[in-house]
Amino acid sequence: MDAQDGGARATTLKLARGEVQTPVFMPVGTQGAIRALSPDHVLQTGSQIVLANTYHLSQRPGERIVEKHGGLHPMMGIPLPILTDSGGFQVFSLKKSKVDEEGVTFAYEVDGNQTFLSPERSMEIQQALGSDIAMVFDECLAYGVDKARCAQSIERTARWEARSKAAHRREDQSLFGIVQGGFWPDLRERSAGLTTDIGFDGYAIGGLSVGEGHAEMLAVLDATAHHLPTDRPRYLMGVGRPIDLVEGVARGIDMFDCVIPTRHARSGMLYTRVGRIRVSDKRYRSDMYAPDTSCACFTCRTFTRAYLHHLFKVGEILGASLATLHNLFFFAAYMREMRVAILEGRFEQFRAEARRVWASEAHRENDAQD
């Protein structure tokens, strides 16, 4: 660990393709591309590591094609470390998936192709994709299941985690476990215990960003993070908004991923130091200011709100690209500032300011379900 300030941590992850300084936010490149953004622009955002999705990539283009490229990095033209998820979250959210102890049978949503995913199969795919961090294949429950069902599920997840670890061979690829347990502190503690007993390179907290509120999410973090080893990275999956990132860091989380900055960008929503602005709003029609006046990204250095407004109005793809570049730059810069605040022992100040700026957001539903 590089520094600790209250619960907040600054660490350095050593991965096959380089080091990552935490806290860190990972942009999502679901289908092997950050939506609407060229790899050279991804690098410009200051992002340190990106995420790609096993479920989607195993179907299209298929992991054999990725492997033929030498893995995701050369295929995507991105020299940054990559984390792949296990595919679990997606296949469990499909309506007609059938689950048994062996794994999950499902129809690929695009062409109905009958497919099977299991801990062993997920490891096979992720190793072919060649990511720097692979995730175990876990059971993901829908929001609102009862405690008895959740208690059974964390036992299965533990068995699947053990199978994932047994099937994992690549030494240049880290493997992270996932703690489940819904909104019950005792189940989170039990799942954390089962997962750390197996032993992984890092630990993720799953089952959040499924429709719960901000307070509920924080309660789960309070009940979970301190059961995880302090010397391993902690990753909060699928979260989130800037205020979620700050409160997650305050509770000892090191890594995050979320579609919010990229998805919101494509609808004209920009994140700035003083809150969000919807640049497609009429009020920006002749606004000659930079999208974010305190931002040093290519978009903010080069263009006005009025021009971005115009691009969204006429449906030019470039609007989505420039907004995505800005939002990812903002998220990366925001995480870097948190790290510096931790290193300098003033994270609580940063957090107080963040709470003020994002006050109106904290109690809104997380609007980035994927």
Smallest distance from its own copies to CB 214, Å: 31
Which one among 152, 267, 286, 349 touches its own copies, defined by CB under 8 A?
286
Which strands sit side by side in the sheet containing 255-257, from one edge to the other? 24-26, 255-257, 234-236, 202-205, 174-179, 133-135, 82-84, 50-52
Site string for its own copies, 322-341 (x = CB under 8 A): x-------------------
Cis peptide before 181 (omega within 30 of 0): no
Site membership for its own copies, residue 121 (CB under 8 A): no
Per annotation, catalytic residue among 5, 85, 132, 254? 85
Which segment (9-17, 61-69, 180-188, 218-226) binds its own copies by CB under 8 A? 61-69
- The answer to whether residues 188 and 213 touch, using CB atoms and an 8 Å cutoff, is no
Q: Which is it for strands 255-257 and 275-278: parallel, antiparallel or unpaired?
A: unpaired
Contact flag: residue 261 with its own copies (CB under 8 A) = no
Tell me the one-letter amino acid at 153. S
Q: Which of 296, 317, 352, 359 binds its own copies (CB under 8 A)?
A: 317
Give whichever of 204 and 290 is closer to its own copies, judged by the CB atom.
290
Task: Kindly tell me which of 56 and 190 has the beta carbon lying closer to its own copies.
Answer: 56
Residue 313 binds to its own copies (criterion: CB under 8 A): yes
Least distance in Å: CB of 286 to its own copies? 5
307 is a contact residue toward its own copies (CB under 8 A): yes
Burial class (CB in 10 A: 0-12, 13-18, 19+), 363: exposed
Of 75-83, 84-92, 164-172, 207-215: span binding its own copies (CB under 8 A): 75-83
Q: How far is the CB of 206 from its own copies (least distance, A)?
A: 25
Q: Is 314 in the site for its own copies (CB under 8 A)?
A: yes
CB neighbours of 71 closer than 8 A, spacing ≥ 6? Answer: 128, 129, 130, 131
Q: How far is the CB of 266 from its own copies (least distance, A)?
A: 9
Q: What does the per-residue mask of binding to its own copies show for 138-157, with x meaning CB under 8 A?
A: --------------------
Q: Does 283 bind its own copies (CB under 8 A)?
A: no
Q: Please, which residues have CB within 8 angstroms of residue 32's CB and are 6 or more apart in sequence? A: 52, 56, 57, 61, 66, 72, 75, 76
287 is catalytic: no
Residue 84 beta carbon to its own copies: minimum distance, rounded to whole angstroms: 16
Of the candidates 189, 177, 199, 197, the residue with the CA atom closest to the CA atom of residue 222: 189
Q: How far, in Å, CA of 54 to CA of 164, rounded?
A: 14
Under rule CB under 8 A, residue 75 binds its own copies? yes
Least CB distance from residue 87 to its own copies, whole Å?
A: 16
If you compute the radius of gyration of the chain from its CA atoms, what whole number of angstroms results? 20
CA distances in angstroms from 258 to 239, 321, 370, listed in the order given:
5, 17, 9
Q: Which residue has the tokens 């299941």?
A: 145
- For residue 336, the tally of other CB atoms under 10 A from its CB is 16
DSSP state of 205: E
254 among known catalytic residues: no
Q: Residues 17 to 56: which contact its own copies by CB under 8 A?
A: 31-41, 56
Longest dimension (CA), the chain: 60
The active-site residue, picked from 132, 138, 244, 257, is 257
Q: Distance (Å, rounded) from C-alpha 332 to C-alpha 330?
A: 6
- Which one, 55 or 203, has the nearer CB to its own copies? 55
Residues in contact with its own copies, total (CB under 8 A)? 41
Q: Does 370 bind its own copies (CB under 8 A)?
A: no
Q: Measured in whole angstroms, how far is the alpha carbon of residue 357 from the centre of its chain?
A: 22
Positions marked catalytic: 85, 257
Residues engaged in binding its own copies (CB under 8 A):
31-41, 56, 60-61, 64-65, 68-69, 75-77, 285-286, 288, 298, 302-304, 306-307, 309-311, 313-314, 316-318, 320-322
